[in-house]
Each structure stands twice: as C-alpha cells, then as structure tokens.
Amino acid sequence: MILFEEALEKVQQSGQTLGTLTVPFTESVGKVLAADVVSDMNMPPFDKSAMDGYACRRQDLAHELTVIETVQAGAFPLKKVGKDTCIKIMTGAPVPEGADTVIMVEHTRSLPGNKIVFLKERSKPNICKMAEDVREGEVVLKRGTLLRPRHIPVLASVGATEVRVYKSPEIAIIATGNELVEPWQKPDRSQIRNSNAYQLAAQSQQLGLHVKYSGWAKDTREDLEALIKKAGQTADIVILTGGVSMGDFDFVPDVLRKTGVKVLFHGVHAKPGKRTLFGVREKQWFVGLPGNPVSSFVQFEMLVKPLIFKIMGAEVPPVALKLPLNDAYRRKNAERKAFLPVTITKSGRVKQIEYHGSAHINALSSARGLMIVEKGVNVLNKGDLVDVRPI
C-alpha cells in the first residue's frame, strides 16, 4: 500500500487532456476553458451613473440647480452640465460632459421652475468610471477555468458567444459480485441491491459528464474480462466497484493486467477505501473501488474527481473548510488517513454523525462533508480546527 498523498499524486500525474472543441457559451457550464477569454471592450464603456439621480458639478451642490435634460439608460446626453445646472439621469446612463457627481433622487427636493435643491451637505460621486471593471484586451476568464453559471454573464458581456473548451471524459461504470441484483429486483437471503453503480453514476453526472452503466459482472474472470473490454471500447475512464480486495473471487486486479492495464497502485493508507486500485492503458484510466458503498463514494470524491478535473484541464484546487469540532473525537487505530462523514451545525461547527463503517450507506444521506483525520492522529479535542471536504 501507498500513502494517500502518493496515490493522489500518481492519479494527477497520469491525467492528460483529450483535445478541445468549440461550444456555444450557453452550453458551456461544466466544461473547462481551453483558451483565455479576452474582453473586446471597456467595461463600463463610458462613465456611467451608478444610480437614479441628477448629474451636476460638486461645486454647485449648495445652490438651486436647473434641470436641463433627462437621460435614460441606452441614450446619450445631448447637453453639457454647466454652472448651477443638472441633468436628470437614470442608473446605467452615460454621465454628461461637465458633471463630476450624481446626487441621489431621494436626497433632493423639487422646486418650481424645473429646479431642484440638494438636501445633504455632501455626496459621493456615484459614477462608475470607464474601464474601471475591465479594459479592452484584458483577460476576463483564464484557461483552465471550470465554467459555472456565474461565468456565463461574463462571457455574454464580452461577446464570447462561442468558447474553446477541453473535451470531457466519457465514463463507464461496472459493478461486480454474484451477490448483486438490480434495484428493481427483490434480493433473496444472500443478495443485496446494486447501489454503488448508480451512486457513482450520479457523482459523475453531477460533474456534467456522460456516463454509461456497462452492467454488473459475475465473479468469474470471463464475465469480468468481457465487460472491461466492452467498456473500454468507448470510455475514457472505466470505474469498477467491488472485486478489488484479497478474496478468492476478487479478480479485478488480475483481469485488468491481462487486458493490458498498467496498475500504478493497489492499496492506499486510507479509511475507507484501503483496497482502491488505479491503472492506465494508453489514454484510458481504470479505477477499481471497494464494494462497500461509503468506500466507493469517498474515494470517488477524493481520488477520482481530481483525475477527472485533470483530464478536463481544470485548475480546481480542492476546497477544505477549516471548522471547529463540536465534540471530541477519538480512535484506536491511526494507521490510515481517515475520511469521516459529518454534518455542520448552524453555528458552523463540525458534528460527527452516527457511522458504523464503510458499509453504512445511510450515514451519507445526512452528511454535509467528509472530515479528514490525518494518519497518526488518535485524538481531536472539542474546538480543534479540522479540515472538512464539502460533499
């Protein structure tokens, strides 16, 4: 076995992009930019009013001001502001020549003769200066950005209606084990429903990936080899769940090697997920995850996601929140790095949830994150800051 950090490094070092394609910006969420996006204009493109009000000269604020024009957003002022004059202006409209301040409507009183008076002693300028947000030719989104909904208005504002992105990997998922039946089937006394494959598919789909469930293999070398070969015909990443431990019928490592996969590691000092396997074959990646559902979920989050992001060309450093522990934590065996399902209280503290081990799938349903306990750490005290990976 190798340390989790070594496993993560091997996974990330093996990842490489699969080429690029151009997509409409409206279909780009979940994809990764393969080129910088540059602004084709200044933003704002002119000095604009930050609010509804009156554009005037600061030096005239103590005087009665004559309103000489009204300018709405989308129009340009026809007149200049001079001594003791002002122009009524709407939010987003260009500031007229001669004005250096926009006073808020609610800070004024109307007077006869189309005049106003400012009711305060002073005012902020309330003007957004030309190019103060972005200059023409400036990079607004960098290559490697994983596009989220918050990036779409940026693309729209600079006219980037088509963007160059990296191709996303195709995922194939294989479940293994004679004991499995599909969720719509009733298990007999020696069987369990196949939950892992659908869990892993959902985790992949949450990343915007196309996923194919290749089915489940019986505990025979022939059945497993046939499914691996079939999945490998179209998938970039093949994820297997079960069959990676040390039992008499755990054939995944041997069959992968037989099909030309170079196994880079089989066994990680991590809990859960000790028997996680990872291998490569040309520009394909193979991950063998343990059959226990919490193990497969956790190692997808901790190892498979970084692999996917690397293949997608994404610069996405993992987020680990440092939060105080709600109650003390103790464990007897600290030989492995541990990832424990936890929730987060309203006060922002990390609270352990009832967790019976890697087969306790219901523990994940109420979890908000995975608390990371480093190898060699037996005790964490109440109030200690701990790393939590949101899930």
Q: Any residues with CB less than 8 A from the CB of 155 and at least 6 apart, and which?
A: 25, 28, 37, 141, 161, 163
Domains and their CATH numbers in the chain: 2-18+168-311 (3.40.980.10), 20-43+132-166 (3.90.105.10), 48-128 (2.170.190.11), 321-390 (2.40.340.10)
Give Rg (Cα) of the chain: 30
Summarised one tens digit per residue, pLDDT across range 44-77 is 999 999 999 999 999 999 999 999 999 999 999 9
Instruction: List phi, psi (to 5°) of 277.
Output: -120, 145
Alpha helices (H) along the chain: 4-14, 152-157, 196-205, 221-232, 252-258, 293-299, 305-311, 362-365
Q: Give the containing element (helix H, strand E) for 216.
A: strand 211-217
Q: Any residues with CB less than 8 A from the CB of 247 and at least 6 apart, and which?
A: none
Summarised one tens digit per residue, pLDDT across range 312-335 is 999 888 888 999 999 999 999 999
| pLDDT, position 248 | 66
> What's the chain's length in residues?
391
Summarised one tens digit per residue, pLDDT across range 9-47 is 999 999 999 999 999 999 999 999 999 999 999 999 999
Rounded to two decimals, the pTM is: 0.89
**What is the distance in angstroms between the CA of the first residue and the CA of the last residue of the chain?**
26
pLDDT at 247 > cutoff 80: no
